Amino acid sequence: MSESDVMIKRHYWVLACVFLLALLVRVVAVWVWGDVPVKDALQYHSIALNLVSGHGYAMVPDVPTSMRSPVYPVFLTVIYTLFGPDYHYAFYVQALLNALLVFPLFWFARRVSGSSLVGVCAAGLFAVHTSFYLVGYMYAENLIVWLGMGFVFCLYAILSGQGHRLRFSLLAGLCAGLMGLTKPEYALLGVATLLFALLWPTARAYWRIWLLVSVVSLLVVGSWQLRNFVVAPPEQKGFIKETIIFSNCPALTGEDWWYVTDMVRLEQQRAACHQLFDALPRDELVARVRDIWLEQPLTMLKLMTSRVLILWVSPPVGSSTLTGISPWLGWGGMLGQYVFVGLAMVMACAGFARRKEFFPFILLAVYMTVVYGLMHSIRRYGYPFVPELCFLFVYGVWMLRERWGKR
């Protein structure tokens, strides 16, 4: 057995230990955060229970709904059918699935970087990254993280010349469509792939593939919209209106910034926004949002900036506790988050400048930034992209080390 084979075998044993660590951390997260579903989670839970009991896709038995996209409730339905209608089972399945991500992450990181060590380090970083807290909640991001990795992998396989382009194109379109049926914010990801690729000469040559990805994703998302048109009440229009109002809420209350460095204050700010919702008619709030967009562009620009910062670099879980111990610890955690995301993004841009295979990293980052920068205000929506960030960060450190060694 060659020396390289011995090293690879050793890395596999280390990877097995990383998986066990990741699983243990996530099981503990379920014990700490796993609780009775409320708000959005309760809606997902109710739909799944109604599907299990034969009352259709509904939050109220036998009353069809379009309020929630179908993939995550169907995922819960499968779990409840197999193990019983107890939300704890969903948390533990999510913990297992999230921990299993270390294996495709290792493989993908090793394939892109050419180093098993990069793969092990990326998997290890993901194992302990604070995004593990998601498994203790009924958040659809628990599926987005897997679908997003599948989407990135398929596009990478196409651009790296691994063959079977038609197969990977269909799978990429399916992943993009399923992401749109998990969270509506991703409904246009396939179209964005086509439009964004046409802007880059190195990716433009594959325009037929991007067109296929776009068409497949639209067919998947369109099937759900057709169902809603035929059997479900038009609830979603009101839901979208409320999302738009809420995402612009600070401007409505005389502020122009969502809190970024203090998640406790952000939650207090969001609570004040809910009070505003209850106090004023929706049409009046929509009119005020429209006026602010037209008359106060600087205010809206600051608000979009804060949304992007919340998306990518909101303080890690537990930062408020650290701040309570010492403000320096809180700021240290914040600085670590900025370094982590910043180096990963720089590596994605630098990699794309040299290798077209980095296109999916840039695509997903730009898409999420545009969508969430325009509409959303809730922290840590960037967590589904954490596996990719872990790889890019480790790869960036690896490249810096290589350059330093050459000096």
Shared-domain flag, residues 111 and 11: yes
> Residue 294's pLDDT band (boundaries 50, 70, 90)?
confident
- Biggest CA pair distance of the chain: 74
pLDDT at 21 over 90: yes
Please answer whether residues 334 and 403 qualify as being in contact, where contact means their C-beta atoms are separated by less than 8 angstroms. Answer: no
pLDDT at 378 over 70: no
Boundaries of domain holding 327: 233-399
- Looking at residue 212, its pLDDT comes to 93
The Cα 143–Cα 206 span in angstroms is 28
Alpha-carbon distances, residue 375 vs 184, 291, 308 (angstroms)? 12, 16, 10
Q: Is residue 407 part of a domain?
A: no
Tens of pLDDT, residues 41-97? 899 999 999 999 988 888 888 888 888 889 999 999 999 999 988 899 999 999 999
- Looking at residue 48, its pLDDT comes to 93
Shared-domain flag, residues 238 and 225: no
Shared-domain flag, residues 290 and 261: yes
Tens of pLDDT, residues 204-228? 788 888 999 999 999 999 988 888 8
Q: Where are the alpha helices (DSSP H) in 114-234?
A: 116-128, 141-159, 165-180, 189-197, 201-204, 207-231
Please answer whether residues 171 and 127 qualify as being in contact, where contact means their C-beta atoms are separated by less than 8 angstroms. Answer: no
Tens of pLDDT, residues 299-350? 888 888 888 888 888 777 767 677 777 777 777 878 888 899 899 998 888 8
- Looking at residue 49, its pLDDT comes to 93
Q: Estimate to the nearest angstrom the gap between the alpha carbon of 289 and the chain centroid.
A: 27
Packing angle between helix 297-313 and helix 282-295, nearest 10 degrees?
A: 100
Decide: residue 338, CB within 10 A, 0-12 exposed, 13-18 middle, 19+ buried.
middle
Residues 6+ apart with CB under 8 A from 179: 144, 147, 148, 151, 186, 189
From 138, 164, 186, give the residue that closes a domain: 138
Mean pLDDT, all residues of the chain: 84
SS3 63: strand
Count of CB atoms within 10 A of residue 98's CB? 24
From 213, 232, 251, give the residue that closes a domain: 232
Q: Is residue 263 part of a domain?
A: yes
The Cα 41–Cα 34 span in angstroms is 11
Shared-domain flag, residues 276 and 360: yes
Shared-domain flag, residues 260 and 360: yes
- Looking at residue 288, its pLDDT comes to 80
Q: Is residue 41 part of a domain?
A: yes
Shared-domain flag, residues 221 and 206: yes
User: In which region does residue 35 sit, left (phi positive, over 0), alpha (psi from -120 to 50) or beta (all else)?
Assistant: beta
Shared-domain flag, residues 240 and 324: yes
Q: Is residue 406 part of a domain?
A: no
Q: Is residue 164 part of a domain?
A: yes
Tens of pLDDT, residues 144-181? 999 999 999 999 998 887 778 889 999 999 999 999 99
Length of the chain: 407
From 138, 165, 197, give the residue that closes a domain: 138
Decide: residue 274, CB within 10 A, 0-12 exposed, 13-18 middle, 19+ buried.
exposed
Radius of gyration of the chain (CA): 22
Residue 125: strand pairing partners: none
Q: Is residue 293 part of a domain?
A: yes
| Of 374, 348, 377, residue with least CA distance to 361 | 348
Q: Is residue 223 part of a domain?
A: yes
Tokens representing 349? 């841009």
- Looking at residue 171, its pLDDT comes to 95
Please answer whether residues 166 and 174 qualify as being in contact, where contact means their C-beta atoms are separated by less than 8 angstroms. Answer: no
Shared-domain flag, residues 303 and 282: yes
Shared-domain flag, residues 219 and 237: no
pLDDT at 3 over 70: no
Please answer whether residues 141 and 383 qualify as being in contact, where contact means their C-beta atoms are separated by less than 8 angstroms. Answer: yes
- Looking at residue 1, its pLDDT comes to 45
Shared-domain flag, residues 287 and 395: yes
- Find which of 112-116, 153-157, 371-375 is predicted with most confidence, using mean pLDDT: 153-157
Tokens representing 291? 């006026």
Report the domain count for the chain: 3
The one-letter code for the residue type at 200 is W
> Residue 2's pLDDT band (boundaries 50, 70, 90)?
very low
Give the mean pLDDT of 254-272.
Answer: 76
pLDDT at 28 over 90: yes
Shared-domain flag, residues 125 and 260: no
Shared-domain flag, residues 145 and 196: yes
Q: Measured in Å, how far apart are the chain's first and last C-alpha atoms? A: 34
Q: Is residue 404 part of a domain?
A: no
